[in-house]
């Protein structure tokens, strides 16, 4: 079917305020250690925190431990029952940590145009509740993709002992709206939140990028406290995503860094806990689509993102 409106994340023009970021990476250490990477930020004033530094990130080896029970998404609108707070019950390096995974869009959004087009306040302005998301040219939808990757991530992170909550699990008629997506992470007191997406850009535009919150202080939005930790999270996610999937950073946004800072996404503006988005690839490019539609590749994507989260939570 046809898709309503622009995708949630249209290609972002280069931000003149940001200097070029370069990624110098990623030498894998043979053996059990997973690797290391260096992100070097060259110049630029950034968006109010976290720029201009050069940092070395180490990713610890993944360990196995018994999985916890599923901690499903809660919903506070639409008559769904709120979920109990996720309770870590397993041992493992992430015992006591709460991770919220936000699968972008909802497979049923197409059926609810009036609901998802309702405007919600994102601090800086009003924006649509949610969008349909994009799809590959063959009709594999972004919403299917994001849920699949989220499920794979949940399994991996629960193996590490984390309590994992999804903002939606294909179990509600639409949404949640972007403000509720942020609120779910906030109310869970999440140690890290990652919103999963795939982009809908032009043919030939390829690669992934991680979207970081810019410093926003307007209305109910105040991201100033999460800009720096979110950048840390995002750099680690990007680094591990490269290492595990072999995907290159976006060739159309982010100046080759795989990192883009934005102030126009409600899911980031309204977050009070460290949060990033990842656009795992471009569904409209046939080569990227071949990856995105592969279950084996999605497992690598989930592994890479999860390893970035694990690295961040280990500090």
Which residues are known catalytic residues? 279
| Nearer of residues 199 and 232 to Zn ion, judged by Cβ | 199
Least Å from the CB of residue 9 to Zn ion: 5
Distance between CA 66 and CA 158 in Å, rounded?
8
Least Å from the CB of residue 12 to Zn ion: 13
Name the residue whose CB lies closest to Zn ion: 197
* Joined tokens for residue 294: 């592969």
Least Å from the CB of residue 84 to Zn ion: 28
* Contact stretch for Zn ion (CB under 5 A) within 40-48, 149-157, 185-193, 197-205: 197-205
| Nearer of residues 139 and 315 to Zn ion, judged by Cβ | 139
| Nearer of residues 41 and 201 to Zn ion, judged by Cβ | 201
* Contact stretch for Zn ion (CB under 5 A) within 46-54, 83-91, 102-110, 174-182: 102-110
Least Å from the CB of residue 7 to Zn ion: 6
Question: Do you know the residue count of the chain?
Answer: 315
| Nearer of residues 154 and 181 to Zn ion, judged by Cβ | 181
Residue choice 127, 197, 231, 262 for contact with Zn ion (CB under 5 A)? 197
> Could you tell me if 158 and 90 are in contact, meaning their C-beta atoms sit under 8 angstroms apart?
yes
| Nearer of residues 162 and 260 to Zn ion, judged by Cβ | 260
> Could you tell me if 279 and 209 are in contact, meaning their C-beta atoms sit under 8 angstroms apart?
yes
Which residues inside 134-193 make contact with Zn ion, applying CB under 5 A?
none
Is 262 among the residues that bind Zn ion (CB under 5 A)? no
Residue 268's nearest CA partner among 179, 196, 139 is 179
> What is the per-residue binding string for Zn ion in 104-133, x denoting contact by CB under 5 A?
x----------------------------x
Which residues inside 24-43 make contact with Zn ion, applying CB under 5 A?
none
How many chain residues touch Zn ion (CB under 5 A)? 4
Least Å from the CB of residue 142 to Zn ion: 5
Query: Residue 123 to residues 102, 178, 210, 269: CA-CA distances in angstroms?
Result: 20, 12, 22, 7
Which residues inside 5-24 make contact with Zn ion, applying CB under 5 A?
8
- Site residues for Zn ion per CB under 5 A: 8, 104, 133, 197
């Amino acid at each position: 079917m046809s898709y309503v409106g622009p995708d949630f994340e249209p290609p972002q023009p280069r931000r003149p305020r940001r200097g070029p970021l370069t990624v110098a990476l990623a030498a894998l250490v043979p053996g059990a250690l997973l690797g290391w990477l260096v992100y070097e930020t060259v110049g630029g004033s950034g968006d109010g925190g976290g720029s201009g530094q050069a940092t070395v990130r180490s990713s610890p080896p993944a360990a196995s431990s018994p999985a916890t029970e599923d901690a499903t998404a809660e919903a506070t609108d639409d008559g769904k029952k709120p979920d109990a707070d996720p309770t870590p019950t397993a041992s493992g390096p992430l015992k006591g940590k709460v991770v919220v995974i936000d699968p972008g869009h909802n497979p049923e959004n197409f059926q609810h145009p009036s609901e998802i087009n309702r405007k919600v306040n994102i601090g800086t302005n009003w924006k649509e509740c949610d969008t349909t998301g994009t799809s590959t040219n063959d009709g594999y939808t972004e919403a299917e993709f994001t849920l699949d990757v989220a499920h794979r991530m949940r399994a991996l992170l629960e193996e590490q002992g984390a309590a994992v909550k999804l903002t939606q699990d294909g179990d509600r008629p639409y949404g949640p709206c972007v403000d509720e997506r942020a609120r779910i992470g906030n109310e869970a007191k999440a140690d890290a939140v990652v919103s999963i997406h795939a982009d809908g850009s032009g043919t030939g535009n390829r690669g992934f990028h991680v979207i970081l919150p810019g410093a926003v202080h307007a209305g109910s939005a105040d991201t100033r406290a999460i800009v720096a930790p979110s950048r840390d999270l995002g750099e680690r996610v990007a680094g591990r995503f490269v290492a595990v999937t072999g995907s290159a950073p976006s060739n159309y946004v982010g100046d080759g860094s795989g990192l883009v800072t934005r102030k126009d996404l409600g899911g980031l503006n309204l977050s009070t806990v460290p949060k990033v988005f990842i656009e795992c690839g471009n569904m409209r490019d046939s080569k990227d689509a071949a990856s995105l539609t592969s279950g084996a590749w999605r497992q690598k994507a989930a592994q890479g993102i999860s390893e970035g989260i694990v690295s961040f939570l280990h500090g």
